[in-house]
Chains A and B, each alone.
Chain A
């Protein structure tokens, strides 16, 4: 069983819509959760991190964490074509020495 699972997509949304990206993880003791954005051929860049249950907002991005359901999501409001990228969910599991486990990523396309 994969430790971090994401729908690979592709996910397409029209410009201005809300894009919703989802991620589930298997280790119930996981403590830290991250969302990275990766443009094709480029390195991942951190866009959000969340540690506590609930929502965390940063500009157009909102990360949502539900530890009971082992579920973390990323909402992108007012999606722009420049948001088109692969979004990687990453989790630091319990007892780990900073071993960050990535999901396989969801490819998002925002249509103008």
Chain B
């Protein structure tokens, strides 16, 4: 079954304690990205990756890091989480960049993160 898997799904953590949200896809997709969703603001892109070892900033990258050492994995790292990073996070992937109809974006189920 084609899927994007995120972990953890739910996490409460304290300010300053480093955490990593993992993301894995089993579709051999080249393109992966991270979004955060906040009330009234919709989905905002944090980082994206066009392929292995190729990453770039999205609209709201501050306070986040990513890496793409393998094609299937794209972890999101919060080195020193702060309360304003409390949000719902989605990982997404697609076959490749571009507007082709084959490039459906698949979303993970989301990770609810609370920083206190």
Contacts and interface: CB of A to CB of B under 8 A. Distances in A.
Interface in B74-110: 90, 94, 96-99, 101, 103-105, 107-110
A2 to B, nearest CB: 9
Interface string A81-112: 00000001010100001111111110000000
Contacts, number: 56
A interface residue count range (under 10 / 10 to 19 / 20 to 34 / 35 or more): 20 to 34
A98 B50 contact: yes
A49 B101 contact: yes
Nearest to A105: B42
Interface residues of B, number: 28
A97 B41 CA distance: 22
B42 A98 contact: no
B88 to A, nearest CB: 8
15 contacts: A8-B40, A31-B99, A32-B99, A41-B110, A42-B109, A43-B107, A43-B109, A45-B107, A98-B96, A98-B97, A99-B45, A100-B33, A102-B43, A104-B41, A105-B42
